[in-house]
């Protein structure tokens, strides 16, 4: 007991317990509207965490929302046309998105930087045309309606809140293990210096395919949850802007830090929802925050916090990003 | 029928050539993909609309005023924002996206959600090889052709154009030769946004003016700079014609809903098999 109660333990355990119980209790004292907002925040966290995986290897994609959409459509179509239970639809949505992502990385293996960015933009446009025009399967512009709920008979916002909450915790946990694993370090290494990573025996293409597939798998799961929660999807549910928002959450929070995308997604979704009350100024406010963060904090909010902690706080080794062992502490200002 | 197709293809090709030449210039100099380019296009049309309908100016004066204002705005945007993201692709994109969101909202606030049209100074139509061509379309073709040729001359023959090409090839080497990269970048941004505004004022006479009118031309400009090769103005012109005519043909024979998807598919194939585009450098 005493061992947990040392300073380090206190730092983490108490806020986690308090935050966790507040989140668990939220549906009972918040309005249904807030519960819905939190469901959106959970969705956005899952999307941002999946997006980060490919981003840290140096490939910035523009089509994460397409994987989300593929998951949602696959899941909805499996449920509507074949009448499969939710569990299978959910898995099917995730796997379809992962397969699409791995395929995209494989065929574009030569593209880097701006070129990959624009290829993925084109992929988004092509898939959008498919969703719009393949009417017999996707329902075209009017989409798919009355998709069965996640658990039939328990289709309240509160129940859905707990489902999303549990899945988000699971996602964060898996991503955390991945980030601390050898594979996570190798992804970081590819992003730092692709050629060097290749020299020490990291298969860059395969790592990128796996990273994209895992990211898309979770995006597909999120899409499936979304489709069965909203019970309606159409091409307008997955606009190009969603991709831009996901990208901006990652950058605002600090994409190379594990907690960065989470902080970015929570903060910007909250600002965006709060902004709705401000009416017309909402978009301008969002744009101003985005611009201010990108100009003043190139490493994102979490990056800035870490920099300040090293500069003013106790000197500590900024582990986590690298597993090179003993050596000079990594340079903080990238 | 064929002549009609050619005219439609020509109008589309020339307007997207104006948009994408500017975007490719900016990419070449600053290595930033300017997501806000569509908003400069929209501002061109909106300012011209207000100058005509509130201040009672004629189309030509209003257009010139709009183009100058937007060019200045582009220069200021570079000075305050884009200059800091020289060579930082993703950060620059996000800054541009932020500007795009903000500008679009400003467009909503001053213009409202209604669709309006700019009154063209030329009315009526003529018959060319059996195709009925309205005069406003002819105006677009004429003005855009002149401007594109002028731009090609400017980049190839003037000292400033040479400086722009030098910065595009290697900005540090250009700096050692006494070329002010910042000045070149500012001028490039001004020219590029002025071209977008010109496209906006021209297109506003044929199609409608509204706050989100910049999205479609922005998408076209993306496709064109991919196909043409990023940073290459000549490539952008060629690609604008390929994509413009492809769009016109697909719309006529298959239906307009497939045209954009096919263009994007072409762009994807281009990136997969020849990533540097038609004329781009590796």
Half-sphere exposure of B253 (CA within 13 A, CB side): 10
Cβ atoms B13, B240 nearer than 8 A: yes
Q: Does B216 touch chain A (CB under 8 A)?
A: no
Rounded to 10 degrees, the C-alpha dihedral A152/A157/A160/A162 comes to -130
Q: How far apart are CA A68 and CA A222, in angstroms?
A: 7
Q: Does B274 touch chain A (CB under 8 A)?
A: no
Least confident of A85-94, A325-334, B181-190: A325-334
Q: Contact A113/B89, CB-based, under 8 Å?
A: yes
| Residue A14: inside a domain | no
Contact list in B for residue A290 (CB cut-off 8 A) is 94, 97-98, 101
pLDDT at B121 over 80: no
First to last CA, chain B: 40
Nearest to B212 by CA among B224, B222, B221, B200: B200
State the best of B26, B258, B264, B273 to mutate against chain A, taking most chain A CBs within 10 Å: B264
| Residue A45: inside a domain | yes
Q: What kind and span of H or E run contains B126?
A: strand B125-128
Q: How confident is the model at residue A326 (pLDDT cuts 50, 70, 90)?
A: very low
ipTM value, please give it: 0.81
Q: How confident is the model at residue A325 (pLDDT cuts 50, 70, 90)?
A: very low
Q: How many domains does chain A have?
A: 1
| Residue B270: inside a domain | no
Contact list in A for residue B271 (CB cut-off 8 A) is 108, 111, 115, 118-119, 122
Question: Average pLDDT in the A225-254 region?
Answer: 87
Tell me what percent of the residues of chain A surpass a pLDDT of 90. 23
pLDDT at A323 over 80: no
Find the residue in B nearest to A141 (Cα).
B257
Q: Which two tokens stand for residue A200?
A: 């020490």
Q: How confident is the model at residue A86 (pLDDT cuts 50, 70, 90)?
A: confident
| Residue A317: inside a domain | no
Q: Does B169 touch chain A (CB under 8 A)?
A: no
- pTM: predicted TM-score of the whole model, two decimal places: 0.80
| Residue B238: inside a domain | no
| Residue B246: inside a domain | no
Cβ atoms B25, B198 nearer than 8 A: no
Q: Which two tokens stand for residue B83?
A: 């200059």
Question: Average pLDDT in the B55-62 region?
Answer: 85
pLDDT at B129 over 70: yes
| Residue B138: inside a domain | yes
Q: What CATH number is attached to the domain comprising A89?
A: 1.10.3470
Q: How many domains does chain B have?
A: 1
Q: Does B104 touch chain A (CB under 8 A)?
A: yes
Query: Domain range for residue B85?
Result: 14-212
| Residue B280: inside a domain | no
| Residue A319: inside a domain | no
Put simply, the chain B residues between 123 and 162 with a CB less than 8 A from any chain A CB are: none
| Residue B3: inside a domain | no
| Residue A303: inside a domain | yes
Q: Which residue has the higher pLDDT, A331 or A166?
A: A166
Query: Domain range for residue A95?
Result: 39-312
Nearest to B96 by CA among A18, A263, A291: A291
Find the residue in A nearest to B225 (Cα).
A118
| Residue B59: inside a domain | yes
| Residue A326: inside a domain | no
| Residue A320: inside a domain | no
| Residue A277: inside a domain | yes
pLDDT at A317: 52
Nearest to A99 by CA among A71, A122, A80, A59: A71
């Amino acid at each position: 007991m005493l061992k947990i109660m040392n300073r380090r333990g206190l730092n983490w355990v108490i806020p986690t317990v308090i935050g966790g119980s507040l989140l668990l209790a939220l549906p009972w004292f918040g309005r249904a509207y807030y519960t819905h907002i939190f469901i959106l925040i959970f969705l956005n966290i899952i999307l941002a965490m999946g997006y980060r995986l490919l981003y840290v290897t140096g490939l910035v994609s523009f089509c994460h929302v397409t994987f989300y959409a593929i998951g949602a459509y696959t899941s909805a179509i499996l449920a509507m046309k074949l009448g499969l239970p939710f569990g299978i639809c959910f898995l099917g949505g995730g796997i379809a998105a992962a397969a699409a992502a791995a395929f995209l990385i494989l065929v574009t293996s030569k593209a880097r930087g701006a070129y990959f960015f624009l290829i993925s933009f084109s992929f988004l446009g092509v898939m959008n045309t498919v969703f719009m025009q393949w009417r017999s399967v996707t329902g075209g512009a009017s989409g798919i309606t009355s998709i069965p709920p996640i658990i039939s008979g328990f289709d309240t916002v509160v129940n859905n809140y707990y489902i999303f909450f549990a899945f988000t915790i699971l996602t964060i946990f898996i991503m955390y293990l991945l980030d601390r694993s050898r594979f996570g370090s190798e992804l970081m290494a590819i992003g730092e210096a692709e050629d060097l990573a290749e020299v020490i025996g990291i298969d860059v293409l395969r790592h990128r395919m796996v990273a994209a597939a895992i990211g898309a798998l979770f995006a597909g799961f999120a899409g499936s949850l979304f489709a069965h929660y909203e019970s309606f999807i159409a091409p307008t549910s997955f606009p190009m802007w969603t991709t831009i928002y996901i990208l901006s959450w990652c950058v605002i929070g600090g994409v190379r830090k594990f907690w960065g995308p989470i902080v970015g997604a929570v903060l910007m979704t909250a600002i965006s929802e709060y902004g709705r009350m401000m009416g017309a100024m909402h978009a301008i406010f969002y744009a101003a925050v985005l611009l201010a963060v990108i100009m003043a904090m190139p490493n994102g909010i979490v990056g800035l916090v870490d920099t300040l902690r090293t500069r003013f706080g106790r000197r500590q080794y900024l582990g986590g990003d690298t597993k090179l062992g003993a050596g000079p502490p990594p340079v903080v200002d990238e | 029928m064929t002549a009609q197709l050619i005219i439609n293809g020509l109008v589309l090709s020339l307007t997207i050539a104006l948009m994408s030449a500017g975007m490719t210039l900016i990419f070449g100099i600053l290595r930033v993909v300017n997501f806000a380019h569509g908003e400069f296009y929209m501002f061109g049309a909106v300012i011209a609309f207000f100058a005509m309908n509130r201040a009672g100016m004629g189309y030509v004066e209003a257009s010139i005023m709009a183009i100058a204002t937007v060019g200045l705005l582009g220069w200021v945007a570079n000075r305050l924002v884009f200059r800091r993201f020289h060579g930082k692709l993703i950060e620059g994109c996000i800054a541009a996206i932020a500007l795009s969101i903000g500008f679009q909202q400003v467009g909503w606030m001053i213009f409202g959600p209604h669709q309006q049209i700019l009154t063209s100074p030329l009315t009526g139509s003529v018959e060319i090889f059996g195709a009925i061509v309205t005069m406003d379309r002819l105006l677009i073709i004429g003005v855009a052709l002149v401007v594109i040729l002028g731009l090609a001359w400017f980049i190839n023959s003037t000292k400033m154009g040479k400086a722009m090409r030098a910065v595009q090839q290697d900005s540090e080497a250009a700096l050692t030769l006494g070329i002010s990269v910042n000045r070149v970048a500012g001028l490039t941004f001004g020219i590029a946004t002025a071209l977008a505004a010109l496209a906006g004022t021209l297109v506003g006479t044929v199609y409608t003016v509204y706050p989100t009118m910049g999205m479609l031309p922005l998408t076209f400009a993306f496709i064109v700079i991919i196909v043409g090769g990023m940073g290459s103005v000549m490539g952008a012109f060629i690609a604008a014609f390929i994509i413009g005519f492809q769009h016109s043909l697909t719309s006529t024979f298959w239906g307009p809903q497939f045209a954009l998807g096919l263009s994007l598919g072409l762009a994807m194939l281009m990136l997969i098999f020849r990533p540097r585009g038609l004329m781009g450098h590796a």
